[in-house]
C-alpha cells in the first residue's frame, strides 16, 4: 500500500517530515511558481514562501540564528533574557524561540507598528515596549534603548539584528542554498527589499557563490529608503515615505555592508504599485501577503521584464497579510494614505474592513 505521505505528494499536496520542536520547523519553505505573473512577464517568477515559517515570517530564520549564535558565544545562559529592537517580525520570531527555549524576551519597537503585531508579541509572553519612532541618530531610537536595557541587567543579550552578521549568515547557510536546490541552479536573479539586509545579503552571497557570479542580485526598495540611491549613485539620499512595514533603511547596516558592493541594481517601488499587486496576487494566485512581499513581487516582475523572456527571477514572500489586515484591507485606512484608488476597480471588493 502506498504511504499516506506519498499519496499526498501524488495528489499534489506538500509533504512534511517530522521535526523536533518549533526550531525544527523553521526554514525549508516551498518555492511558489507565480503562474499568472510569470505568464504576463513571459518569464519564471518564483516567491520563497517565508510566510510558512512557524512564526509566520522570514524573520524566524534570523531569530533562531541570532539566539543560536548568542548561545554558542556563551552570551546567553539558561533563564537569560533576549532583548531586541524590532519593527515586529524579528520580535515575533524571537518571542517564539524564547518560549521554546525558556528565555525571557523584551522587545523595543517603534510605536507606529500595527496593533496585530503588538498583540501577538504580548500573547507570546514578550515584554513589549513601544517607543517613539525616531531616527537611528537619536539616542531614543528603539535599537539604542534595547542595547542600553540589555547592558543594564544580568544574563541578558541584545541580539542586534541590524549589525550582528549572524543574521545574514543564517540566510547564507539556509535560504540561499534552498533556492539554489529548488531551482536546480537555474536562477538568473534574486531580488528583495531589505530591513536589516540579512535576507538580501546572506541569500545573495550564497547564490552568487553557488552560481560562480552568474546570478544577479537586486534590491527592491520602498520610497524613503536610502538603498536604491546608494546602489545606483553611491549617495545615501532618501525621498518620500512608504506604508510598508519592516523594510526600508536609512543607513548601510553591518549586515548589508557584507554584500552591498556586489548588488547589481535596485528599483524604488512606489506604494501604488505595491498595493495594486497585493490585491492582484490575492485575486489571481490566492496568496494573502503583507506589503513587503507585494513590493518584492513588483520588483521581481520588473526585473524579469528587464532580463527578458524566459528568465528566472526569485523573490521573497516575507509574511502574510494577517499581521496588517486592519490597514491593508481597510478602505478607510487606504483612503487616509491616498492609496485606495491604487486598487484596480474590479478588486476593490476585497477591501472589506
Single out the segment in contact with ligand PMP by CB under 6 A; choices: 40-48, 51-59, 106-114, 299-307.
Answer: 51-59
**Exactly one of 59, 101, 208, 273 is catalytic; which is it?**
59
Query: Which residues are bridge partners to 221 per DSSP?
Result: 268
Nearer to ligand PMP, 59 or 238 (CB): 59
Which one of residues 319, 321, 328, 329 is an interface residue with ligand PMP (CB under 6 A)? 319
**Nearest approach, Cβ of residue 89 and ligand PMP (Å):** 3
Our finding on whether 274 is near ligand PMP (CB under 6 A) is: no
Our finding on whether 55 is near ligand PMP (CB under 6 A) is: no
Instruction: Give which of 16, 107, 25, 41 is closest to 307, Cα–Cα.
Output: 41
Q: What is the 3-state secondary structure (H, E, C) of 70-111?
A: HHHCCCCCCCCEEEEECCCHHHHHHHHHHHHHCCEEEEEEEC
Nearest 5°: CA angle at 324, between 278 and 179?
55
Tracing cell 505573473 back to the chain, one arrives at: 37
Site residues for ligand PMP, window 111-170 (CB under 6 A)? Answer: none
**Nearest approach, Cβ of residue 18 and ligand PMP (Å):** 28
Nearer to ligand PMP, 80 or 271 (CB): 271
Which one of residues 197, 223, 299, 320 is an interface residue with ligand PMP (CB under 6 A)? 197
Number of residues in contact with ligand PMP, rule: CB under 6 A?
19
Q: What are phi and psi of 243, to 5 degrees?
A: -85, -10
Q: Take residue 307 and report the three cell numbers written for it.
A: 532580463
Instruction: Give which of 301, 268, 269 is closest to 284, Cα–Cα.
Output: 301
Cβ atoms 170, 62 nearer than 8 A: yes
Cβ atoms 211, 315 nearer than 8 A: no
Which one of residues 37, 70, 76, 87 is an interface residue with ligand PMP (CB under 6 A)? 87
The yes-or-no answer on residue 309 being catalytic is no
Active site residues: 59
Q: Interface residues with ligand PMP (CB under 6 A)?
A: 57-59, 87, 89, 193-200, 246-247, 290, 292, 318-319
Amino acid at each position: 500500500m502506498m504511504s499516506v505521505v506519498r499519496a499526498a505528494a501524488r495528489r499534489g499536496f506538500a509533504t512534511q517530515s517530522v521535526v523536533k520542536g518549533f526550531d525544527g520547523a523553521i526554514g525549508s519553505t516551498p518555492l511558489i511558481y507565480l503562474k499568472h505573473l510569470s505568464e504576463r512577464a513571459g518569464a519564471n517568477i518564483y516567491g520563497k514562501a517565508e510566510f510558512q515559517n512557524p512564526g509566520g515570517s522570514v524573520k524566524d530564520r534570523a531569530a533562531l540564528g541570532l539566539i543560536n549564535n548568542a548561545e554558542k558565544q556563551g552570551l546567553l545562559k539558561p533563564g537569560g533574557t533576549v532583548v531586541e529592537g524590532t519593527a515586529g517580525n524579528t520580535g515575533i520570531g524571537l518571542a517564539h524561540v524564547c518560549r521554546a527555549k525558556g528565555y525571557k524576551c523584551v522587545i523595543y519597537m517603534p510605536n507606529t507598528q500595527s496593533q496585530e503585531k503588538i498583540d501577538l508579541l504580548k500573547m507570546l509572553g514578550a515584554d513589549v515596549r513601544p517607543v517613539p519612532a525616531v531616527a537611528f541618530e537619536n539616542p531614543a531610537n528603539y535599537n539604542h534603548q534595547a542595547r542600553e536595557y540589555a547592558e543594564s541587567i544580568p544574563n541578558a543579550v541584545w541580539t542586534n539584528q541590524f549589525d550582528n552578521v549572524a543574521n545574514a549568515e543564517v540566510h547564507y547557510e539556509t535560504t540561499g542554498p534552498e533556492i539554489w536546490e529548488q531551482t536546480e541552479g537555474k536562477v538568473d536573479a534574486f531580488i528583495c527589499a531589505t530591513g536589516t539586509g540579512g535576507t538580501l545579503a546572506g541569500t545573495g552571497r550564497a547564490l552568487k557563490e553557488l552560481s560562480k557570479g552568474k546570478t544577479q542580485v537586486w534590491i527592491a526598495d520602498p520610497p524613503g529608503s536610502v538603498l536604491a540611491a546608494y546602489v545606483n549613485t553611491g549617495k545615501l539620499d532618501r525621498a518620500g515615505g512608504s506604508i510598508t512595514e519592516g523594510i526600508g533603511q536609512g543607513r548601510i547596516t553591518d549586515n548589508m555592508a557584507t554584500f552591498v558592493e556586489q548588488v547589481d541594481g535596485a528599483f524604488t517601488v512606489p506604494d501604488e504599485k505595491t498595493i495594486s499587486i497585493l490585491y492582484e496576487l490575492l485575486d489571481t494566485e490566492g496568496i494573502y501577503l503583507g506589503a513587503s512581499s507585494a513590493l518584492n513581487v513588483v520588483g521581481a516582475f520588473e526585473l524579469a521584464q528587464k532580463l527578458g523572456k524566459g528568465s528566472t527571477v526569485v523573490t521573497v514572500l516575507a509574511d502574510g497579510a494577517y499581521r496588517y489586515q486592519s490597514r491593508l484591507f481597510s478602505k478607510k485606512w487606504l483612503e487616509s494614505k491616498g492609496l485606495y484608488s491604487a486598487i484596480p476597480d474590479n478588486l476593490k471588493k476585497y477591501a472589506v474592513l
